[in-house]
């Protein structure tokens, strides 16, 4: 497939779960207090990125679907861990999408999050995209500091 078809996560997600033999998840059966979404790394590469307006629109649409499914949850939109361009664009566009939604319960967690981890110590060996256990622990600790004041936990 072409890159333009790969990054349409909401359509891919919905198509995939509709193709399963089991029934779709009943979103009303359990409602989270907080929902974390960490998308974007695979939507960009050193040689390609989606059009800005399309990406922001698709991201807002996906958050809108989450809002319908989880009407009272706080949604935390976490940007990619990969440093540099074009992932800097991704983080900026996620921040813009969240800002445009103007939903006080949707939060962008994108500013400087690449500095949370150290390469290569916090990543799976030979991989600069996927954190290892140490990296995930660092992410959890930083997210705790962001989430606690919002959620009152």
Which pLDDT value is given to residue 25? 74
* 3-state SS track over the chain: CCHHHHCCHHHHHHHHHHHCCCCCCCHHHCCCCEEEECCCHHHCCCCCCCCHHHHHHHHHHHHHHHHHHCCCCEEEEECCCCCCCCHHHHHHHHHHHHHHHCCCCEEEECCCHHHHCCCCCCECCCCCCCECHHHHHHHHHHHHHHHHHHHCC
- Side-chain-side CA neighbours of 74 within 13 Å: the count stands at 16
pLDDT band, residue 58 (cuts 50/70/90): very high
Q: Supply the pLDDT for residue 114.
A: 82
Grade residue 1 by pLDDT with cuts at 50, 70 and 90: very low
Q: What is the pLDDT of residue 20?
A: 64
- Is it the case that residue 93 has pLDDT exceeding 90? yes
Mean pLDDT of 35-62: 92
pLDDT at 8 over 80: no
Q: Please name which of 42, 94, 104 lies closest in space to residue 67, comparing C-alpha atoms.
A: 104
């Amino acid at each position: 497939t072409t890159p333009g078809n790969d990054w349409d996560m909401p359509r891919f997600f919905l198509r995939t779960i509709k193709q399963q033999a089991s029934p779709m998840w009943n979103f009303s059966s359990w409602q989270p207090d907080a929902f974390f979404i960490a998308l974007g790394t695979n939507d960009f590469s050193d040689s390609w990125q989606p059009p800005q307006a399309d990406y922001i629109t698709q991201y807002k649409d996906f958050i809108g679907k989450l809002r319908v499914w989880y009407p009272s949850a706080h949604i935390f939109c976490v940007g990619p861990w990969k440093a540099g361009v074009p992932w800097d664009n991704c983080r900026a566009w996620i921040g813009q999408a969240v800002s445009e939604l103007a939903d006080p319960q949707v939060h962008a967690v994108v500013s400087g999050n690449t500095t949370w981890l150290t390469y290569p110590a916090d990543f799976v060996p030979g991989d600069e995209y996927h954190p290892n256990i140490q990296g995930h622990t660092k992410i959890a600790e930083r997210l705790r500091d962001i989430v606690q004041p919002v959620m009152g936990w």
